[in-house]
């Protein structure tokens, strides 16, 4: 069996890859593993369970709740809320485990299960591996130890979760948003109620699109993966800025008043400068990934802010932040982590903090984002190749060296193996878009011929 857990939980086509039986079994296994690890010692365990609005989330939530309760865990069912809300509530309520059912930015037929440890932090790799091992062991025949009578878990609908999370978002904002007009694209997802409520309570005039989830329309032509609707709405309503979330609202991209995209690197740059001015950017350092735009790195150098780069994936950004005590980190895709106020990427919090900076300075978002000049970046996926040889192929190494020589100090090349598919990602940055496209195309051809 291949590893169930990826870099962001277990994900697949609901009712095909991700079945009710798998959801129930993993939940029971998680309860047993955390009990073995001493997480539940001395008290009756509690779990927070939430989901995004996907239709499949309804039966998967029922399976997870049944699994946890059958293992003796009391369940607080919080309903449809963003992933960062479930993480926050897990910590805030002192729960022993959090479970979120979502496939984030994936299409509607997919779904996923993400577990949080006590405090609202992602589970360590070794705990995920142990959960998978225990699940497989019992799936093939060994019976579970099951509590009976008063030992079974009780299930409660925790309706206060919405207000508790929104109040938290408002409480950590550095200033109000009065006078700002903001368009919010909720991707027909988990933040469809939360985000408009939070922005309105913070004082903004709010226009919403993509905020009518019906279980089937999540991420459908809207949200952070499809910005055209948001661009048009911002211009039409003459808004100061637009904010786009994905299905579970753990990421945020933005649009300025002219309808131009502001990506995760630019958002990080704006927030890094703001936090440094306020004395909140610990060690004057921001954490990004190897995919961070060269323009972002140059901007941070000019501002006297150190950039630490990790492997791609918000979990690696978070590991670096926790290990070194850094306050801010994120990815170009819009996963931004403000560790003083959240244990994971929080799209609503990020959007609020970005808007707060606009309100506090009186400057436009375009002006603020101008702190960095984004270099043209071209990404080409080369499928159906032996990705294991990308680091050892002499033909590929020669082609990369030739490309780096051509680009000089004004660009860079990055070849990366996909973590889930048989493909190699070729990324090229250059001062000129056409040059970036040409170099990326040449490298992709070499990768295909050498590794195909």
CA dihedral (214, 215, 221, 224) positive or negative: positive
Q: Phi and psi at residue 381, in whole multiples of 5°?
A: -90, 125
Query: How far is residue 29 from each of residues 17, 41, 73, measured CA to CA in Å?
Result: 18, 17, 12
Please name which of 87, 103, 57 lies closest in space to residue 164, comparing C-alpha atoms: 87
Confirm whether residue 250 is marked as ligand binding: yes
Q: Which residues pair with 205 in a beta bridge?
A: 181
Confirm whether residue 129 is marked as ligand binding: no
172-201 residues labelled b (16+ CB within 10 A) or e (exposed): ebeebbeebbbbbbbbbbbbbbbbbbbbbb
**What residues are annotated to the active site?**
104
Q: What is the DSSP letter of 110?
A: E
Cα 115 to Cα 90: distance, rounded to the nearest angstrom: 10
3-state secondary structure at position 409? helix
Please name which of 418, 266, 428 lies closest in space to residue 333, comparing C-alpha atoms: 266
Torsion from C-alpha of 81, 287, 6, 138, nearest 10 degrees: -80
Cα 411 to Cα 435: distance, rounded to the nearest angstrom: 10
Residue listed under structure tokens 């952070």 = 224
> From the annotation, which residues make up the binding site for Mg(2+)?
104, 246, 248, 250
> From the annotation, which residues make up the binding site?
104, 246, 248, 250
């Amino acid at each position: 069996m291949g590893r169930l857990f990826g870099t962001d939980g277990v994900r697949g086509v609901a009712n095909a890859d991700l079945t009710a039986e798998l959801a129930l079994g993993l939940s029971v296994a998680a309860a047993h593993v955390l009990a073995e690890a001493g997480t539940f010692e001395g008290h009756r365990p509690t779990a927070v369970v939430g989901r995004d609005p996907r239709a499949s989330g309804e039966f998967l939530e029922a399976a997870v709740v049944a699994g946890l309760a059958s293992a003796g865990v009391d369940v607080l069912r919080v309903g449809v809320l963003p992933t960062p809300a479930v993480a926050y509530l897990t910590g805030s309520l002192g729960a022993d485990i959090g479970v979120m059912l979502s496939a984030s930015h994936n299409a509607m037929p997919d779904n996923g299960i993400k577990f949080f440890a006590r405090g609202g932090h992602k589970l360590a790799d070794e705990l995920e591996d142990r959960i998978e091992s225990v699940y497989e062991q019992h799936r093939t025949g060994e019976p579970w130890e099951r509590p009976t009578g008063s030992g079974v878990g009780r299930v409660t609908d925790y309706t206060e979760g919405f207000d508790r999370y929104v109040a938290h978002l408002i409480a950590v904002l550095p200033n109000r948003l009065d006078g700002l007009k903001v368009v919010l694209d909720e991707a027909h997802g988990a933040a469809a109620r939360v985000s408009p409520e939070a922005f309105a309570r913070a004082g903004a005039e709010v226009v919403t699109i993509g905020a009518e989830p019906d279980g089937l329309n999540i991420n459908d032509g809207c949200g952070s993966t499809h910005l055209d609707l948001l661009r048009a709405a911002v211009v039409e309503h003459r808004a100061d800025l637009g904010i786009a979330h994905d299905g579970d609202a753990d990421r945020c991209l933005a649009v300025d008043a002219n309808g131009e995209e502001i990506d995760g690197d630019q958002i990080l740059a704006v927030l890094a400068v703001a936090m440094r001015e306020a004395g909140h950017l610990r060690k004057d350092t921001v954490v990004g990934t190897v995919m961070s735009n060269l323009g972002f790195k140059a901007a941070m150098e000019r501002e006297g802010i150190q950039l630490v780069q990790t492997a791609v994936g918000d979990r690696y950004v978070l590991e670096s932040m926790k290990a070194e005590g850094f306050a801010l980190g994120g990815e170009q895709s819009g996963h931004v982590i403000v560790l003083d106020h959240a244990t994971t990427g929080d799209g609503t919090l990020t959007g609020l903090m970005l808007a707060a900076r606009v309100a506090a300075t009186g400057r436009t978002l375009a002006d603020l984002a101008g702190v960095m000049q984004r270099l043209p970046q071209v990404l080409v996926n080369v499928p159906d190749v032996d990705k294991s040889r990308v680091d050892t192929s002499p033909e590929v190494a020669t082609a990369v060296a030739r490309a780096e020589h051509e680009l000089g100090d004004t660009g860079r090349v990055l070849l990366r193996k996909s973590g889930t598919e048989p493909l190699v990602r070729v990324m090229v940055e250059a001062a000129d878009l056409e040059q970036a496209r040409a170099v990326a195309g040449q490298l992709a051809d070499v990768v295909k011929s050498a590794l195909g």
